[in-house]
């Protein structure tokens, strides 16, 4: 390619990127509007698909519901073994517990399970499901979607495992997702592990997170580049240790799971 043609191609590519960015910005909503839409969605269990999106038993088909907890427990076991951490932690908190699909797998392993969610109904259902499978004490923690940090006050350095899966992609934007890292950093004991899953994007612009229409796009609102979330975790006081990718499972695609420890 001649220098002139190379320069022309670069100019066309830059123009395309600028147009793409302009379209995304014109189509975006202010963060506070997206947070408000998210709050309204998760507080109303009459919304279409709410029980499926909250991973309630019956909202998902039984094989899919059961696979949520078993798949994530297997990932946890792999991370814990590799990092020489207990596979039976004392206190586990699940940030975004939904209807208990993960809780029924993790609660029998621990001495105390904390079900945290923005929905009081989901917390109650999660605790009910735990009671069906074990006698581990389970308590609820209601998260204010506008002030998630408030849920961590008085609980600093109390949890051995911070579990957060199928949640980050539902947040109203990357700014909100990174507040979950802050919550994990506050609540974990020294040496404790956060197992956090994100939906990753690729070079395909269609895989990027959305900035409007929360109800329509809720499962793809927030995505990260794989390396970016690793870097962000370190910036928020956690030490990235391991990562595993699940390009596709029963529910969706492009999942990245991180093992992050608190120094």
**Burial bucket for residue 7 (CB in 10 Å: 0-12, 13-18, 19+):** exposed
Domain regions of the chain by residue span: 30-261
For residue 28, name the pLDDT band (cuts at 50, 70, 90).
Answer: confident
Q: What is the pLDDT of residue 48?
A: 85
Tell me how many degrees the CA angle 237-55-137 measures, rounded to the nearest 5.
Answer: 70
Q: Would the pLDDT of 16 be above 80? A: no
Secondary structure class of 203 (helix, strand, coil):
coil
The owner of tokens 């189509």 is: 27
In tens, the pLDDT along 76-128 reads 999 999 999 999 999 999 999 999 999 999 999 999 999 999 999 999 999 99
- Contacts of 179 by beta carbon, 8 Å cutoff, 6+ apart: 148, 149
Spatial separation of the C-alpha atoms in residues 189 and 169, rounded to whole Å:
26
Task: Please give the backbone phi and psi of residue 33, each rounded to the nearest 5 degrees, phi first.
Answer: -70, -40
Token pair for residue 97? 């517990």
CATH of domain 30-261: 3.40.50.150
Strand order in the sheet with 91-95: 138-142, 112-117, 91-95, 159-164, 188-199, 253-261, 239-248
What percent of the chain is modeled with pLDDT above 70? 90
* pTM of this structure: 0.89
**Nearest Cα to Cα of residue 244 among 262, 263, 230, 223:** 230
Amino acid 25: pLDDT: 44
Q: Residue 184: pLDDT above 90?
A: yes
């Amino acid at each position: 390619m001649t220098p002139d043609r190379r320069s022309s191609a670069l100019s066309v590519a830059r123009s395309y990127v600028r147009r793409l960015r302009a379209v995304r910005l014109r189509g975006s909503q202010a963060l506070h509007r997206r947070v408000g839409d998210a709050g309204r969605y998760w507080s109303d269990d009459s919304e279409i698909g709410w029980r499926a999106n909250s991973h309630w038993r019956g909202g998902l088909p039984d094989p899919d519901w059961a696979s949520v907890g078993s798949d994530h427990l297997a990932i946890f076991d792999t991370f814990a073994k590799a990092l020489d951490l207990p596979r039976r932690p004392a206190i586990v908190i699940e940030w975004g517990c939904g209807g208990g699909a993960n809780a029924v797998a993790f609660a029998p392993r621990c001495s105390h399970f904390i079900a945290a969610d923005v929905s009081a109904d989901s917390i109650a259902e999660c605790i009910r499901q735990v009671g069906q499978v074990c006698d581990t004490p389970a308590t609820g923690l209601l998260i204010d979607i506008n002030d998630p940090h408030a849920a961590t006050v008085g609980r600093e350095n109390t949890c051995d495992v911070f579990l957060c899966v199928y949640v980050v992609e539902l947040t109203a934007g990357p700014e909100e997702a990174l507040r979950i890292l802050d919550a994990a950093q506050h609540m974990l004991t020294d040496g404790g592990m956060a197992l956090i899953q994100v939906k990753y994007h690729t070079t395909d612009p269609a895989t990027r997170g959305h900035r409007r229409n929360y109800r329509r796009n809720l499962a793809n609102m927030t995505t990260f580049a794989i390396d970016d979330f690793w870097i962000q975790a370190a910036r928020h006081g956690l030490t990235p240790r391991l990562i595993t990718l699940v390009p596709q499972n029963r529910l969706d695609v492009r999942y990245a799971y991180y093992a992050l420890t608190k120094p």
